[in-house]
Protein backbone atom coordinates (compact mmCIF):
# COMPACT_ATOMS: atom_id res chain seq x y z
CA UNK A 1 0.00 0.00 0.00
CA UNK A 2 1.24 3.48 -0.84
CA UNK A 3 2.31 5.74 1.99
CA UNK A 4 -0.17 8.34 3.25
CA UNK A 5 0.68 11.82 2.03
CA UNK A 6 -0.53 15.12 3.43
CA UNK A 7 -2.11 17.73 1.20
CA UNK A 8 -3.78 21.11 1.45
CA UNK A 9 -6.38 22.25 -1.10
CA UNK A 10 -6.71 26.03 -1.24
CA UNK A 11 -9.95 27.81 -1.98
CA UNK A 12 -11.87 31.03 -1.30
CA UNK A 13 -13.45 31.84 2.08
CA UNK A 14 -16.95 30.37 2.41
CA UNK A 15 -16.26 27.45 0.06
CA UNK A 16 -14.30 25.27 2.50
CA UNK A 17 -17.18 22.92 3.52
CA UNK A 18 -18.20 22.37 -0.12
CA UNK A 19 -14.60 21.57 -1.02
CA UNK A 20 -14.25 19.20 1.96
CA UNK A 21 -17.35 17.29 0.77
CA UNK A 22 -16.02 17.16 -2.75
CA UNK A 23 -12.63 15.86 -1.62
CA UNK A 24 -14.22 13.24 0.65
CA UNK A 25 -16.38 12.01 -2.28
CA UNK A 26 -13.20 11.67 -4.35
CA UNK A 27 -11.68 9.46 -1.65
CA UNK A 28 -9.63 11.94 0.37
CA UNK A 29 -9.16 10.90 3.99
CA UNK A 30 -9.22 12.96 7.15
CA UNK A 31 -10.51 16.16 5.52
CA UNK A 32 -10.11 19.08 7.91
CA UNK A 33 -11.54 22.50 7.22
CA UNK A 34 -9.13 25.39 7.68
CA UNK A 35 -9.29 29.04 6.73
CA UNK A 36 -9.56 29.22 2.90
CA UNK A 37 -8.25 25.67 2.67
CA UNK A 38 -8.97 22.02 3.39
CA UNK A 39 -6.24 19.69 4.65
CA UNK A 40 -6.55 16.06 3.58
CA UNK A 41 -4.65 12.81 3.29
CA UNK A 42 -4.28 10.29 0.54
CA UNK A 43 -1.83 8.69 -1.85
CA UNK A 44 -0.28 10.11 -5.00
CA UNK A 45 -3.31 9.06 -7.05
CA UNK A 46 -5.40 11.26 -4.77
CA UNK A 47 -3.22 14.23 -5.65
CA UNK A 48 -3.78 13.69 -9.38
CA UNK A 49 -7.49 13.05 -8.75
CA UNK A 50 -7.95 16.26 -6.72
CA UNK A 51 -6.27 18.30 -9.45
CA UNK A 52 -8.39 16.80 -12.21
CA UNK A 53 -11.81 16.46 -10.57
CA UNK A 54 -12.12 19.12 -7.85
CA UNK A 55 -14.35 21.96 -9.02
CA UNK A 56 -13.96 24.01 -5.83
CA UNK A 57 -10.17 24.00 -5.28
CA UNK A 58 -7.78 26.72 -6.44
CA UNK A 59 -4.62 24.65 -5.97
CA UNK A 60 -3.43 21.44 -4.36
CA UNK A 61 -0.30 21.67 -2.23
CA UNK A 62 1.64 18.56 -1.21
CA UNK A 63 3.28 18.88 2.21
CA UNK A 64 6.92 17.78 2.29
CA UNK A 65 8.11 18.69 5.74
CA UNK A 66 7.25 20.64 8.87
CA UNK A 67 10.02 22.06 11.01
CA UNK A 68 10.70 24.47 13.82
CA UNK A 69 13.47 27.08 13.69
CA UNK A 70 14.82 29.80 15.97
CA UNK A 71 17.02 31.69 13.54
CA UNK A 72 17.93 32.12 9.86
CA UNK A 73 20.67 29.49 10.02
CA UNK A 74 18.32 26.74 11.29
CA UNK A 75 15.70 27.72 8.71
CA UNK A 76 18.28 27.57 5.90
CA UNK A 77 19.64 24.19 7.08
CA UNK A 78 16.19 22.61 7.27
CA UNK A 79 15.49 23.61 3.69
CA UNK A 80 19.00 22.63 2.55
CA UNK A 81 18.30 19.12 3.96
CA UNK A 82 15.13 18.76 1.91
CA UNK A 83 15.75 16.58 -1.20
CA UNK A 84 14.41 19.09 -3.73
CA UNK A 85 16.13 17.05 -6.47
CA UNK A 86 13.23 14.55 -6.24
CA UNK A 87 11.10 17.18 -8.00
CA UNK A 88 13.49 19.54 -9.67
CA UNK A 89 15.75 18.69 -12.60
CA UNK A 90 19.29 20.06 -12.61
CA UNK A 91 18.43 22.28 -15.55
CA UNK A 92 14.91 23.00 -14.27
CA UNK A 93 13.45 26.27 -13.02
CA UNK A 94 11.90 26.99 -9.65
CA UNK A 95 10.16 29.63 -7.56
CA UNK A 96 9.47 29.95 -3.85
CA UNK A 97 6.26 31.49 -2.55
CA UNK A 98 6.09 32.30 1.16
CA UNK A 99 3.44 33.45 3.58
CA UNK A 100 4.47 34.32 7.12
CA UNK A 101 2.89 35.65 10.28
CA UNK A 102 4.30 36.39 13.71
CA UNK A 103 7.74 35.14 12.67
CA UNK A 104 11.37 36.25 12.84
CA UNK A 105 10.97 37.18 9.18
CA UNK A 106 9.52 40.65 8.88
CA UNK A 107 8.64 40.07 5.22
CA UNK A 108 7.95 36.85 3.28
CA UNK A 109 10.38 38.02 0.61
CA UNK A 110 13.47 37.42 2.74
CA UNK A 111 12.20 33.96 3.79
CA UNK A 112 11.70 33.12 0.08
CA UNK A 113 15.19 34.32 -0.87
CA UNK A 114 16.79 32.29 1.93
CA UNK A 115 14.84 29.17 0.92
CA UNK A 116 15.84 29.64 -2.71
CA UNK A 117 19.52 30.01 -1.67
CA UNK A 118 19.30 26.79 0.39
CA UNK A 119 17.90 24.82 -2.56
CA UNK A 120 20.44 26.30 -5.01
CA UNK A 121 23.34 25.58 -2.62
CA UNK A 122 22.19 21.97 -2.29
CA UNK A 123 22.16 21.62 -6.09
CA UNK A 124 25.60 23.19 -6.33
CA UNK A 125 26.94 20.66 -3.81
CA UNK A 126 25.25 17.73 -5.57
CA UNK A 127 25.71 18.60 -9.23
CA UNK A 128 27.96 21.62 -9.38
CA UNK A 129 25.19 23.61 -10.99
CA UNK A 130 22.14 25.43 -9.72
CA UNK A 131 18.55 25.70 -10.97
CA UNK A 132 17.31 29.00 -12.36
CA UNK A 133 14.56 31.00 -10.77
CA UNK A 134 11.49 31.69 -12.90
CA UNK A 135 8.79 33.50 -10.95
CA UNK A 136 6.23 33.45 -13.77
CA UNK A 137 6.38 29.90 -15.02
CA UNK A 138 8.59 27.66 -12.88
CA UNK A 139 8.88 23.89 -13.32
CA UNK A 140 8.59 23.49 -9.56
CA UNK A 141 6.87 25.95 -7.29
CA UNK A 142 7.67 25.61 -3.58
CA UNK A 143 5.38 27.12 -0.95
CA UNK A 144 6.43 27.92 2.59
CA UNK A 145 3.79 28.64 5.20
CA UNK A 146 5.47 30.11 8.26
CA UNK A 147 3.67 30.76 11.49
CA UNK A 148 5.69 31.83 14.51
CA UNK A 149 8.66 29.44 14.70
CA UNK A 150 7.17 26.68 12.56
CA UNK A 151 7.40 26.28 8.82
CA UNK A 152 5.60 23.92 6.47
CA UNK A 153 7.22 23.24 3.13
CA UNK A 154 4.91 22.31 0.23
CA UNK A 155 5.26 21.70 -3.46
CA UNK A 156 2.47 23.16 -5.56
CA UNK A 157 1.07 20.36 -7.70
CA UNK A 158 -1.33 22.59 -9.65
CA UNK A 159 0.87 25.37 -11.02
CA UNK A 160 -1.56 27.93 -12.40
CA UNK A 161 -4.71 28.32 -10.32
CA UNK A 162 -7.24 25.55 -11.00
CA UNK A 163 -9.98 28.10 -11.72
CA UNK A 164 -8.27 28.41 -15.09
CA UNK A 165 -10.17 25.50 -16.56
CA UNK A 166 -8.99 25.95 -20.11
CA UNK A 167 -12.36 26.78 -21.72
CA UNK A 168 -12.16 30.58 -21.50
CA UNK A 169 -11.21 31.91 -24.91
CA UNK A 170 -12.02 35.44 -23.81
CA UNK A 171 -13.01 36.88 -20.46
CA UNK A 172 -15.99 39.08 -19.72
CA UNK A 173 -14.92 42.34 -17.99
CA UNK A 174 -16.66 41.28 -14.74
CA UNK A 175 -16.52 37.49 -14.70
CA UNK A 176 -17.44 35.24 -11.84
CA UNK A 177 -14.51 33.05 -10.85
CA UNK A 178 -15.01 29.45 -12.10
CA UNK A 179 -14.37 28.01 -8.63
CA UNK A 180 -16.97 30.36 -7.12
CA UNK A 181 -19.43 29.45 -9.91
CA UNK A 182 -18.93 25.73 -9.23
CA UNK A 183 -19.38 26.29 -5.48
CA UNK A 184 -22.61 28.23 -6.10
CA UNK A 185 -23.94 25.32 -8.12
CA UNK A 186 -22.94 22.83 -5.42
CA UNK A 187 -24.49 25.02 -2.70
CA UNK A 188 -27.77 25.25 -4.66
CA UNK A 189 -28.03 21.45 -4.35
CA UNK A 190 -28.95 21.32 -8.04
CA UNK A 191 -27.69 18.11 -9.60
CA UNK A 192 -29.04 18.48 -13.12
CA UNK A 193 -32.65 17.49 -12.40
CA UNK A 194 -34.18 20.54 -14.14
CA UNK A 195 -33.26 23.19 -16.71
CA UNK A 196 -30.56 25.69 -15.79
CA UNK A 197 -31.00 29.35 -16.74
CA UNK A 198 -28.54 32.22 -16.45
CA UNK A 199 -30.38 35.29 -17.80
CA UNK A 200 -27.36 37.61 -17.29
CA UNK A 201 -24.71 35.20 -18.48
CA UNK A 202 -21.82 37.46 -19.58
CA UNK A 203 -19.08 35.04 -20.67
CA UNK A 204 -21.27 32.04 -19.69
CA UNK A 205 -19.19 30.84 -16.72
CA UNK A 206 -22.27 29.67 -14.77
CA UNK A 207 -23.96 27.76 -17.62
CA UNK A 208 -20.66 26.12 -18.61
CA UNK A 209 -19.94 25.05 -15.03
CA UNK A 210 -23.55 23.82 -14.70
CA UNK A 211 -23.31 21.79 -17.90
CA UNK A 212 -19.97 20.33 -16.79
CA UNK A 213 -21.57 19.34 -13.48
CA UNK A 214 -24.65 17.77 -15.06
CA UNK A 215 -22.62 15.93 -17.72
CA UNK A 216 -20.00 14.88 -15.18
CA UNK A 217 -17.20 16.55 -17.15
CA UNK A 218 -14.14 16.78 -14.88
CA UNK A 219 -13.12 20.30 -13.87
CA UNK A 220 -9.72 19.75 -15.50
CA UNK A 221 -11.01 18.22 -18.73
CA UNK A 222 -10.04 21.19 -20.93
CA UNK A 223 -6.88 22.07 -19.09
CA UNK A 224 -3.46 21.14 -20.47
CA UNK A 225 -1.11 22.45 -17.80
CA UNK A 226 -0.50 21.28 -14.24
CA UNK A 227 2.52 21.91 -12.03
CA UNK A 228 3.24 18.19 -11.53
CA UNK A 229 3.65 17.59 -15.29
CA UNK A 230 7.04 19.34 -14.97
CA UNK A 231 8.30 17.40 -11.96
CA UNK A 232 11.16 14.94 -12.29
CA UNK A 233 9.10 12.33 -10.40
CA UNK A 234 5.91 12.82 -12.48
CA UNK A 235 4.22 9.48 -13.10
CA UNK A 236 2.43 9.63 -16.48
CA UNK A 237 0.90 6.16 -16.07
CA UNK A 238 -0.91 7.10 -12.85
CA UNK A 239 -2.03 10.41 -14.34
CA UNK A 240 -3.49 8.73 -17.43
CA UNK A 241 -5.19 6.09 -15.31
CA UNK A 242 -6.79 8.72 -13.06
CA UNK A 243 -8.10 10.70 -16.03
CA UNK A 244 -9.75 7.54 -17.32
CA UNK A 245 -11.83 7.41 -14.12
CA UNK A 246 -14.04 10.17 -15.61
CA UNK A 247 -17.55 8.99 -16.47
CA UNK A 248 -18.79 11.69 -18.80
CA UNK A 249 -22.48 11.45 -19.74
CA UNK A 250 -23.25 11.57 -23.45
CA UNK A 251 -26.48 13.46 -22.98
CA UNK A 252 -28.80 14.90 -20.36
CA UNK A 253 -32.58 15.37 -20.46
CA UNK A 254 -32.42 19.05 -19.52
CA UNK A 255 -31.56 22.32 -21.26
CA UNK A 256 -29.18 25.08 -20.36
CA UNK A 257 -29.98 28.70 -21.25
CA UNK A 258 -27.45 31.50 -21.38
CA UNK A 259 -28.74 34.94 -22.28
CA UNK A 260 -27.58 38.51 -21.91
CA UNK A 261 -28.76 41.89 -23.14
CA UNK A 262 -25.37 42.78 -24.59
CA UNK A 263 -24.51 41.08 -27.93
CA UNK A 264 -20.82 41.79 -27.39
CA UNK A 265 -20.85 39.60 -24.28
CA UNK A 266 -22.88 36.94 -26.06
CA UNK A 267 -20.05 36.62 -28.59
CA UNK A 268 -17.69 35.89 -25.69
CA UNK A 269 -20.21 33.39 -24.25
CA UNK A 270 -20.47 31.59 -27.62
CA UNK A 271 -16.69 31.36 -28.00
CA UNK A 272 -16.26 29.94 -24.49
CA UNK A 273 -19.12 27.48 -24.98
CA UNK A 274 -17.66 26.36 -28.31
CA UNK A 275 -14.23 25.86 -26.74
CA UNK A 276 -15.92 23.70 -24.06
CA UNK A 277 -17.68 21.79 -26.87
CA UNK A 278 -21.01 22.44 -25.15
CA UNK A 279 -22.81 24.24 -28.00
CA UNK A 280 -25.25 21.32 -28.39
CA UNK A 281 -26.30 21.72 -24.76
CA UNK A 282 -26.36 25.46 -24.04
CA UNK A 283 -28.77 27.74 -25.90
CA UNK A 284 -27.37 31.25 -26.23
CA UNK A 285 -29.81 34.04 -27.01
CA UNK A 286 -30.06 37.81 -26.65
CA UNK A 287 -32.73 38.63 -24.11
CA UNK A 288 -33.55 41.27 -21.60
CA UNK A 289 -33.52 39.28 -18.34
CA UNK A 290 -36.65 41.11 -17.24
CA UNK A 291 -38.59 39.63 -20.18
CA UNK A 292 -37.17 36.11 -20.02
CA UNK A 293 -39.66 33.33 -19.24
CA UNK A 294 -38.64 29.72 -18.68
CA UNK A 295 -39.86 27.15 -21.20
CA UNK A 296 -40.30 24.53 -18.48
CA UNK A 297 -40.98 24.77 -14.78
CA UNK A 298 -39.40 23.98 -12.40
CA UNK A 299 -36.06 25.33 -13.48
CA UNK A 300 -33.02 26.63 -11.67
CA UNK A 301 -32.21 30.30 -12.27
CA UNK A 302 -28.78 31.49 -11.30
CA UNK A 303 -27.39 34.93 -11.96
CA UNK A 304 -24.56 37.26 -11.24
CA UNK A 305 -26.10 40.67 -12.03
CA UNK A 306 -23.99 43.76 -12.65
CA UNK A 307 -22.93 45.44 -9.43
CA UNK A 308 -21.81 48.88 -10.46
CA UNK A 309 -18.17 48.40 -9.51
CA UNK A 310 -17.02 46.91 -12.79
CA UNK A 311 -20.09 47.50 -14.98
CA UNK A 312 -21.96 50.78 -15.13
CA UNK A 313 -25.57 50.82 -13.97
CA UNK A 314 -27.72 53.94 -14.03
CA UNK A 315 -29.89 53.11 -11.05
CA UNK A 316 -28.57 50.05 -9.27
CA UNK A 317 -31.31 49.82 -6.66
CA UNK A 318 -34.11 50.09 -9.26
CA UNK A 319 -32.32 47.42 -11.32
CA UNK A 320 -32.28 45.00 -8.38
CA UNK A 321 -35.95 45.82 -7.71
CA UNK A 322 -36.66 44.71 -11.27
CA UNK A 323 -34.77 41.47 -10.64
CA UNK A 324 -37.09 40.76 -7.70
CA UNK A 325 -40.20 41.45 -9.78
CA UNK A 326 -38.94 39.36 -12.72
CA UNK A 327 -38.17 36.44 -10.42
CA UNK A 328 -41.55 36.65 -8.72
CA UNK A 329 -43.71 37.03 -11.83
CA UNK A 330 -41.73 35.27 -14.59
CA UNK A 331 -40.11 32.41 -12.72
CA UNK A 332 -42.73 31.23 -10.28
CA UNK A 333 -42.31 27.55 -9.52
CA UNK A 334 -38.53 27.81 -9.94
CA UNK A 335 -35.64 28.17 -7.53
CA UNK A 336 -33.37 31.18 -8.01
CA UNK A 337 -29.90 32.11 -6.79
CA UNK A 338 -28.35 35.55 -7.03
CA UNK A 339 -24.78 36.56 -6.19
CA UNK A 340 -23.73 40.16 -5.86
CA UNK A 341 -21.28 42.34 -3.97
CA UNK A 342 -23.78 45.18 -3.84
CA UNK A 343 -25.30 44.33 -0.47
CA UNK A 344 -27.48 47.44 -0.38
CA UNK A 345 -28.94 46.85 -3.83
CA UNK A 346 -29.56 43.17 -3.05
CA UNK A 347 -32.06 44.26 -0.39
CA UNK A 348 -34.14 45.79 -3.18
CA UNK A 349 -34.82 42.33 -4.64
CA UNK A 350 -37.55 42.33 -2.00
CA UNK A 351 -38.00 38.55 -1.73
CA UNK A 352 -37.28 36.56 1.40
CA UNK A 353 -34.19 34.43 0.80
CA UNK A 354 -34.41 30.80 1.87
CA UNK A 355 -30.60 30.46 1.87
CA UNK A 356 -27.85 33.00 2.50
CA UNK A 357 -24.08 32.71 2.32
CA UNK A 358 -21.08 34.97 2.09
CA UNK A 359 -18.74 34.18 -0.77
CA UNK A 360 -15.75 35.98 -2.26
CA UNK A 361 -15.38 36.52 -5.98
CA UNK A 362 -11.61 37.03 -5.77
CA UNK A 363 -11.22 39.93 -3.32
CA UNK A 364 -14.84 41.03 -3.61
CA UNK A 365 -17.12 40.11 -0.72
CA UNK A 366 -20.49 38.94 -2.06
CA UNK A 367 -23.79 37.65 -0.77
CA UNK A 368 -25.18 34.51 -2.35
CA UNK A 369 -28.93 34.36 -1.83
CA UNK A 370 -31.37 31.58 -2.73
CA UNK A 371 -35.10 32.05 -3.27
CA UNK A 372 -37.98 29.65 -3.63
CA UNK A 373 -40.35 31.26 -6.08
CA UNK A 374 -44.01 30.44 -5.93
CA UNK A 375 -47.29 32.00 -6.92
CA UNK A 376 -49.09 34.12 -4.32
CA UNK A 377 -47.66 34.87 -0.92
CA UNK A 378 -45.11 32.91 1.07
CA UNK A 379 -47.47 32.03 3.94
CA UNK A 380 -49.88 30.20 1.63
CA UNK A 381 -47.00 28.47 -0.10
CA UNK A 382 -45.72 27.09 3.22
CA UNK A 383 -49.24 25.95 4.25
CA UNK A 384 -49.78 24.28 0.84
CA UNK A 385 -46.37 22.61 1.03
CA UNK A 386 -47.16 21.20 4.50
CA UNK A 387 -50.56 19.91 3.31
CA UNK A 388 -49.23 18.20 0.19
C1 LIG B 1 -21.45 40.61 -13.75
S2 LIG B 1 -21.85 40.29 -15.40
C3 LIG B 1 -22.03 38.54 -15.49
C4 LIG B 1 -20.70 37.89 -15.68
C5 LIG B 1 -20.79 36.40 -15.89
N6 LIG B 1 -21.28 35.71 -14.71
C7 LIG B 1 -19.42 35.83 -16.29
O8 LIG B 1 -18.84 35.03 -15.53
O9 LIG B 1 -18.89 36.20 -17.34
C10 LIG B 1 -23.50 40.84 -15.52
C11 LIG B 1 -24.11 40.72 -16.91
O12 LIG B 1 -25.46 41.14 -16.86
C13 LIG B 1 -25.79 41.66 -18.14
N14 LIG B 1 -27.02 42.44 -18.05
C15 LIG B 1 -27.22 43.67 -17.53
N16 LIG B 1 -28.51 44.03 -17.64
C17 LIG B 1 -29.17 43.01 -18.24
C18 LIG B 1 -30.50 42.77 -18.59
N19 LIG B 1 -31.47 43.69 -18.38
N20 LIG B 1 -30.80 41.60 -19.20
C21 LIG B 1 -29.83 40.67 -19.43
N22 LIG B 1 -28.54 40.85 -19.10
C23 LIG B 1 -28.21 41.99 -18.51
C24 LIG B 1 -24.57 42.45 -18.51
O25 LIG B 1 -24.53 42.67 -19.91
C26 LIG B 1 -23.43 41.57 -17.98
O27 LIG B 1 -22.94 40.76 -18.99
Instruction: Map out the domains of the chain with their CATH numbers.
Output: 5-156 (3.30.2130.30), 178-215+252-387 (3.40.50.150)
Q: How many angstroms separate the alpha carbon of residue 313 from the centre of ligand 1?
A: 11
CA of 365 relative to ligand 1 center, distance in Å: 18
The atom of ligand 1 lying closest to the CA of 203 is 9
What pLDDT, on the 0 to 100 scale, is given for residue 246? 96
Residue 380 clears pLDDT 70, i.e. is over it: no
Q: Is 257 in the pocket of ligand 1 (CB under 6 A)?
A: no
112 lines ligand 1 (CB under 6 A): no
pLDDT in tens, 182-210: 999 999 999 999 999 999 999 999 999 99
Rounded Cα distance, 386 and 388, in Å:
6
Q: Which long-range contacts (CB under 8 A, 24 or more apart) does 340-343 make?
A: 340/304, 340/305, 340/307, 340/366, 340/367, 341/307, 341/309, 341/365, 341/366, 341/367, 342/307, 342/308, 342/309, 342/316, 343/367
pLDDT in tens, 48-87: 999 999 999 999 999 999 999 999 999 999 999 999 999 9
Amino acid sequence: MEETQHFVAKTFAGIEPVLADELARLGARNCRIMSRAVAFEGDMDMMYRANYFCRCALRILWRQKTFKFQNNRQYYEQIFDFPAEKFLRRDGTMAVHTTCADSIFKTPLYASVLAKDAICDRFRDLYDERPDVDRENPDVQFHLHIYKDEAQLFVDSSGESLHKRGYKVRNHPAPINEVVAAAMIAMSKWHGECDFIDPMCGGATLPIEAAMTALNIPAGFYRREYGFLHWKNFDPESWNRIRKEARIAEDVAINFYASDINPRFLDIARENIRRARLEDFITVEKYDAFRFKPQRVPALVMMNPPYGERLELEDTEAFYGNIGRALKYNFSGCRAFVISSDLQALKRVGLKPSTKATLYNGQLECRFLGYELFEGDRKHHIINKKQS
